Structure 1
Amino acid sequence: MPTAYFTALGNGHYRATQATAGAWDPRQQHIAPPMGLMTHVLQRHRGADHALSITRLSFDIYGTVPIGEVEVSVDTPRAGRTIELSEVTMTHADRTIAVLRAWSLMDSPTEDIEHIPQENFPGLEELEPWDAAKVWPGEFIASLEGRRRFLGPGRAQAWLRTGLPLVDGERSSDFARYVGLIDVANGLASTLDPQTTVYPNVDSTVSFFRQPRGEWVGLDVTASTGPRGVGLTHSFLHDSNGPVGVLTQSLTIRRMPSAS
Structure 2
Amino acid sequence: MQNEPFFRIDGDHYVPTPASRGPWNPNSLHGRVIIGLLGHEIERLYGGPEYIPARLTVDMYRLPDLSPVEVTTRVVRDGYRIKVIDAEFVSGGVSAGRATCQLLRRTEATTGTVWKPETWDAPKPADIPVPQDPRMGMGGMWAMRPITGAFGTVGPRKTWMSEVRELVEGRPLTPFTRVAVAADFASPFANAGDKGLEYINTDITVYLHREPATEWVGFEVINHGSTDGVGIGECLLYDEQGPIGSAACCALAQKRAAG
Using structure 2 for the length normalisation, give the TM-score.
Answer: 0.86
Please tell me whether the aligned partners of residues 233 and 250 of structure 2 are also in contact (alpha carbons under 8 angstroms). yes
Match of 1:95 in 2: 94
Which runs of 5 or more residues in structure 2 are unaligned? none
Runs of 4+ in 1 over 3 A off after TM superposition: 111-118, 125-133, 254-258
Change (3 A) 1:55 1:47: closer
Please tell me whether the aligned partners of residues 211 and 244 of structure 1 are also in contact (alpha carbons under 8 angstroms). yes
Residue 114 of structure 1: how far off its partner (Å): 7.6
Change (3 A) 1:238 1:114: farther
Map 1:74-89 → 2, pairs under 5 A = 74-89=73-88
Map 1:180-219 → 2, pairs under 5 A = 180-189=181-190, 190-194=192-196, 198-219=198-219
User: Matches of 1:133 and 1:26 in 2, distance apart?
Assistant: 19
Please tell me whether the aligned partners of residues 137 and 144 of structure 2 are also in contact (alpha carbons under 8 angstroms). no
Change (3 A) 1:14 1:104: same
Residue 198 of structure 1: how far off its partner (Å): 3.3
Tell me which moved more, 54-63 or 115-124. 115-124
Residue 188 of structure 1: how far off its partner (Å): 2.3
Change (3 A) 1:24 1:117: same
SS in 2 for 1:108: coil
User: Matches of 1:164 and 1:43 in 2, distance apart?
Assistant: 19
Please tell me whether the aligned partners of residues 75 and 86 of structure 1 are also in contact (alpha carbons under 8 angstroms). yes
User: Matches of 1:132 and 1:201 in 2, distance apart?
Assistant: 25
Tell me which moved more, 181-190 or 226-235. 181-190
User: Matches of 1:131 and 1:122 in 2, distance apart?
Assistant: 20
User: Matches of 1:37 and 1:120 in 2, distance apart?
Assistant: 30
Change (3 A) 1:113 1:132: farther
Match of 2:165 in 1: 164
Residue 2 of structure 1: how far off its partner (Å): 5.1
User: Matches of 2:80 and 2:137 in 1, distance apart?
Assistant: 44
Residue 129 of structure 1: how far off its partner (Å): 3.5
User: Matches of 2:10 and 2:222 in 1, distance apart?
Assistant: 39
Change (3 A) 1:202 1:169: same
User: Matches of 1:2 and 1:77 in 2, distance apart?
Assistant: 36
Match of 2:67 in 1: 68
Please tell me whether the aligned partners of residues 21 and 28 of structure 1 are also in contact (alpha carbons under 8 angstroms). yes
SS in 2 for 1:134: coil
Match of 2:235 in 1: 235
Residue 183 of structure 1: how far off its partner (Å): 0.8
What is the CA deviation profile of residues 153-208 of structure 1, one whole-angstrom value per residue up to 9, with x for unaligned ones?
253101011220111112331211221112112222521534xx631001101111
User: Matches of 1:213 and 1:170 in 2, distance apart?
Assistant: 18
Kindly tell me the number of residue pairs found equivalent between the two proteins: 251
Residue 113 of structure 1: how far off its partner (Å): 5.1
Please tell me whether the aligned partners of residues 23 and 256 of structure 2 are also in contact (alpha carbons under 8 angstroms). no
Residue 111 of structure 1: how far off its partner (Å): 6.7
Match of 1:21 in 2: 21
Which runs of 5 or more residues in structure 1 are unaligned? none
User: Matches of 2:171 and 2:113 in 1, distance apart?
Assistant: 34
Percent of residue pairs identical: 23
SS in 1 for 2:63: coil
Please tell me whether the aligned partners of residues 132 and 142 of structure 1 are also in contact (alpha carbons under 8 angstroms). no
Instruction: Give the residue type in structure 2 aligned to 1:188.
Output: F
SS in 2 for 1:85: strand
Using structure 1 for the length normalisation, give the TM-score.
Answer: 0.86
Change (3 A) 1:247 1:78: same
Please tell me whether the aligned partners of residues 24 and 255 of structure 2 are also in contact (alpha carbons under 8 angstroms). no
Residue 23 of structure 1: how far off its partner (Å): 1.1
Tell me which moved more, 143-152 or 161-170. 143-152
Please tell me whether the aligned partners of residues 24 and 257 of structure 2 are also in contact (alpha carbons under 8 angstroms). no
Match of 2:45 in 1: 45
SS in 2 for 1:3: coil
